[in-house]
Amino acid sequence: MRDFFKAEKEGRWIDAAHSLDLTGFEPIRRYAVQAAKSMTSRPKTTAQEVMRWDPDMPLAVAKYQAKRSNEGLQSPDLLSREFARVTSVDSLVAMPIDEAAARWLEAKGSKWQDEIALKESKGRPEVDCPQVPDSIAHAIRTEVITPVTTVLGATVASDTVRYVVVGFTRLGDNSAKPVDSPYPAMSPKAITLRKLDGNWRISPAPDMPNSDAFGGSTVVTIRCSMNKNAKSGAQKK
pLDDT at 22: 95
| pLDDT band, residue 42 (cuts 50/70/90) | low
For the chain, the straight-line distance linking the first and the last C-alpha, in angstroms and rounded, comes to 43
pLDDT of 113 reads: 81
pLDDT at position 173, please? 45
The mean pLDDT value of the chain amounts to 77
Are residues 40 and 73 in contact, defined by beta-carbon separation less than 8 angstroms? yes
Lowest-confidence segment of 32-36, 112-116, 139-143 by average pLDDT? 139-143
Q: What's the rounded Cα separation, in Å, for the pair 169 and 147?
A: 5
pLDDT of 200 > 60? The answer is yes
Between 105 and 73, residue with greater pLDDT = 105
Residue-level pLDDT at 2: 84
Per-residue pLDDT, averaged over 194-219, amounts to 78
Q: What's the rounded Cα separation, in Å, for the pair 219 and 237? A: 26
d(CA 84, CA 103): 5
CA dihedral (17, 196, 206, 40) positive or negative: positive
- Write down the pLDDT at residue 53: 79
Mean pLDDT of 137-162: 76
Helix (H) or strand (E) holding 149: strand 147-154
Q: What is the mean pLDDT of residues 140-162?
A: 77
